[in-house]
Structures are given as structure tokens and as C-alpha cells.
């Protein structure tokens, strides 16, 4: 089975750049997606196809890929970006999730 | 706008059954598969499987066969997750998610907390 590995936490000050990585063999052949989850709210997609941004998502959110690692970058992180972020991918008709990263902005 | 609205929290005793609903609006229900995802307390996300909203054919992930059943009522754009013979370890938040893995269509319900306790 496939696995995706994320750091458990990342912390930045407001206005700084936050980078969250996600690693796994499956990412060498399948696209990654990222979603943001705030307490008590439904998850919201922020990046798909490694680096595409859905409409309505602020430009400060970007994604990149290199080999078996994808990175979510939040340039000029805002206090409202504080949330859990999960990467995931679709492989062999399964969805595979990373363990999630808690982003603290303060 | 697209919305997936799930039924409310449930408190059940071990051995009972529960049925969670997920009502979709704002898009053609049969255009996208519906996934189910579990998040146990303090744990990560586990993909439970998906149901083809055109055919009603379900696919269950490893570890989610036997007691778990996905179903649909396309007349009301609603997907269901039924869990039977509940155990304490089924305590979790259950999410439905309509996802097109090739594109930006990716919408989740707000989650339903199922608590199994005697």
C-alpha cells in the first residue's frame, strides 16, 4: 500500500513563508492534492494536480513537485491560514492521505 | 454553490447500527463519485472507499468490508454510510467527499461524529 509522509507541525510568523512537504513513492507517478481543514469545518481544496490552484483560493497558496516530494507553499502566511493541511493522492482507485500538518501562524 | 450536508452526531451502544447521510446540492449528483473517509480521535484520515453514483456500485477499502455499506438515493441526491455491529473503535468523524481526482472538483461534507459507548 502507498504512504504519504508529512511533518506533524510547521510554525511561522505572520507574513513569513510557510512550506509543508509531502513525500511518498506514489507521487513520482500520481498528482498530489492539498486541502485545508479548520476545526469544525469541512475540508477545502487549495491545490490540485501538484500545483494548480482552484478558483477562489488566494494566490499566496502554491504547490510544486520534485520527484517523490510535493510542497505546499504559503507566501506571506496570514493568521487565518492557521489550520491543518493534508496532502493526498489517488492511486489504483484508492485515495491515500498524508498524516496532516498543523500550521501555526503567530 | 456546491454543498454536501451530513446528518448530525450519533451516540450508539456497541452492537447497534448507524446510518449517516450526505445530501448533495449545487451539482449533478451522478457526475462525481462519492467517497467516504474516517477520522478517529487524534488520528489521521482513512479512506473507506467510494460508490459510483451512476451505477450504485460500491468499492470498499481494506478494513472496511463486511460491516460497512455504502448506498444511494439518487432521487434526493443523497449518499449513505451504514455501519452495523458497532464497536468502540468505530468512534470517529465520518466524512463524505465528492472528488474528481483529475481536476478541481473536490467537496467535502462537514463530518458526522459517531460515538460508540456503553
Enter the DSSP assignment of A76.
T
- CB-CB contact of B56 with B85 (8 Å): no
Phi and psi based region of residue A44 (left: phi greater than 0; alpha: psi -120 to 50; beta: remaining): beta
Nearest to A14 by CA among A85, A106, A83: A106
Search chain A and give the residue with CA nearest B52: A93
Residue B30, pLDDT score: 95
Residue A93, pLDDT score: 78
User: Å from B32 to nearest chain A CA?
Assistant: 14
Predicted confidence band at A24 (pLDDT cuts at 50, 70, 90)? very high
Search chain A and give the residue with CA nearest B6: A42
β partners of residue B71: B80
| Residues of B in Cβ contact (< 8 Å) with A98 | 44
Predicted confidence band at A94 (pLDDT cuts at 50, 70, 90)? confident
Enter the DSSP assignment of B110.
-
pLDDT over threshold 80, residue A62? yes
**Chain A contact for B103 (CB, 8 A cutoff):** yes
Average pLDDT over residues A13-42: 94
Cα–Cα distance between A58 and A73 in angstroms, integer? 12
User: Å from A105 to nearest chain B CA?
Assistant: 21
Cα–Cα distance between B85 and A59 in angstroms, integer? 47
> CA separation (Å) from A61 to A7, A53, B71, B93?
18, 8, 36, 27
Cα–Cα distance between A82 and A57 in angstroms, integer? 15
> CA separation (Å) from B117 to A54, B15, B92?
40, 10, 12
Residue B49's SS3 state is strand
More confident residue, B68 or A93: B68
B108–A35 CB contact, under 8 Å: yes
Helix (H) or strand (E) holding A84: strand A83-91
Search chain B and give the residue with CA nearest A45: B106
Residue A16, pLDDT score: 97
Residue B102, pLDDT score: 80
Average pLDDT over residues A18-27: 96
CB nearest A86 (choices: B45, B61, B101): B45
Q: How many CB pairs under 8 A join A and B?
A: 54
Predicted confidence band at A54 (pLDDT cuts at 50, 70, 90)? very high
Amino acid at each position: 500500500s502507498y504512504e504519504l509522509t508529512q511533518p506533524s507541525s510547521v510554525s511561522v510568523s505572520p507574513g513569513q513563508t510557510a512550506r509543508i512537504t509531502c513525500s511518498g513513492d506514489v507521487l513520482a507517478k500520481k498528482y498530489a492534492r492539498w486541502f485545508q481543514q479548520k476545526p469544525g469545518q469541512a475540508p477545502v481544496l487549495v491545490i490540485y494536480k501538484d500545483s494548480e490552484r482552484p478558483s477562489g483560493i488566494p494566490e499566496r497558496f502554491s504547490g510544486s513537485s520534485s520527484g517523490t516530494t510535493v510542497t505546499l507553499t504559503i507566501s506571506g502566511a496570514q493568521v487565518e491560514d492557521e489550520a491543518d493541511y493534508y496532502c493526498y493522492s489517488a492511486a489504483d482507485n484508492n485515495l491515500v492521505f498524508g498524516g496532516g500538518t498543523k500550521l501555526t501562524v503567530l | 454553490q456546491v454543498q454536501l450536508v451530513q446528518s448530525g452526531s450519533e451516540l450508539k451502544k456497541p452492537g447497534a447500527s448507524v446510518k449517516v447521510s450526505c445530501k448533495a446540492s449545487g451539482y449533478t449528483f451522478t457526475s462525481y463519485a462519492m467517497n467516504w473517509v474516517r477520522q478517529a480521535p487524534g488520528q489521521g484520515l482513512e479512506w473507506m472507499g467510494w460508490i459510483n453514483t451512476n451505477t450504485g456500485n460500491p468499492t470498499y477499502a481494506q478494513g472496511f468490508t463486511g460491516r460497512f455499506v455504502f448506498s444511494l438515493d439518487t432521487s434526493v441526491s443523497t449518499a449513505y454510510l451504514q455501519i452495523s455491529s458497532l464497536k468502540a473503535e468505530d468512534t470517529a468523524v465520518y466524512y463524505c467527499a465528492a472528488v474528481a481526482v483529475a481536476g478541481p472538483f473536490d467537496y467535502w461534507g462537514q463530518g458526522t461524529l459517531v460515538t460508540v459507548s456503553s
